Amino acid sequence: MNFEVYVRRESYLEILGFTTYAYITNRITKYSGMAGGRVRTLGEFIENFVYGKVAEEAFKSFLSKELGLRALTEVDVADFYSGVYLPDVVAIKKNQGWEPARFWIDVKEVRRDQKWLLVPASSIRERPYDAYVAVWVGLPDEHILWLIGNLKEDKERMATPWLKKVDELTKSIEAIPCKICGFATWNDVLAVNRKAKLTSRGGFYFDGNTALFDPDDNAWSGAQVGENVGFELKRLGATSDWKIFHSLITQNKRIISAVPMPRTKSGHLSKKSGLPSWCNTFRDFRDAYQAYFEKQLKDIEQKFGGIERTTSWFAQTI
């Protein structure tokens, strides 16, 4: 079952503000291994991040409307916090306050006619999550044209076909259609082995030499992908029990196994970990990041009187 939700224009604009702030202030790396090992432009950066953030916003809306849970994502927090290994759902409302996430969720956006939720094997080994959620995002490929079309100088130059296209995009941006496609827990990931057979939840191991396929449509074929654990979206949606998910997220307990700390040959904490030196005593990477994550949220709460954002990211000091 796919649950339809809509992300409103105001949220889309705040996502643009957050993404631009992160780029201008160098808060998130501009380097991209996928882009030939070079620094991304702001345009590329926006394209890479906006879809994912819209997916997170859609899932937050789903949690509220379908599961009765109030949640915060990174964009909702009063200040920017750092980390290379962090949850996409930051906190859940408990009683009168916000409880930091300990059940970590990785929201994965899917687009167009994508058939699979893909989780890179390297990510599973080095930065595993308790649950992976697939969210289809119906943001138009040319969504940035909407911004261009709302600049007075540009709009005055636009011919009728251009203006018509901007009007069409205005309707799309006003309420971006999204679908919650399903979820896989860490235990579902562990159930996928290297044998070429789908699990009951649609799990399949892609060894890096296998092209994407549709088990129900021989005419559909996708590109070859690297080493990934994949979950076929149709089966994932049909077998996702959201009552179980509700229980897991409200219990708010980690379910993944131990994650080795990345260290240098001399035993020191690796700089690539993104952790401060005081985390060197931790043996488990996830435990270290949980402590670092919660400390940052506590610092934000002390500074602003709460962790929930009350102003626009476009007003953030740069």
Is pLDDT at 33 greater than 70 in this prediction? no
300 is a domain residue: no
Which range marks the domain in which residue 203 is found?
3-256
292 is a domain residue: no
- pLDDT on residue 121: 93
Average pLDDT along the chain: 90
Residue 28: band (very low, low, confident or very high) from pLDDT cuts 50, 70, 90:
confident
| pLDDT tens per residue, range 226-263 | 999 999 999 999 999 999 999 999 999 999 999 999 89
Place of tokens 């969720």: 105
| Contact (CB, 8 A) for 18 and 313 | yes
Is pLDDT at 36 greater than 60 in this prediction? no
Q: Distance (Å, rounded) from C-alpha 20 to C-alpha 23?
A: 5
| pLDDT tens per residue, range 46-80 | 887 899 999 999 999 999 999 999 999 999 999 99
82 is a domain residue: yes
Is pLDDT at 130 greater than 60 in this prediction? yes
Average pLDDT over residues 169-188: 91
Q: Could you tell me where the beta strands, DSSP code E, fall in 104-243? A: 105-110, 116-120, 131-137, 175-185, 203-207, 211-213, 221-224, 227-232
Is pLDDT at 150 greater than 90 in this prediction? no
Is pLDDT at 35 greater than 80 in this prediction? no
Domain count, the chain: 1
115 is a domain residue: yes
Global confidence as pTM = 0.92
Question: How far from the centroid of its chain's Cα atoms is residue 29's Cα?
Answer: 16
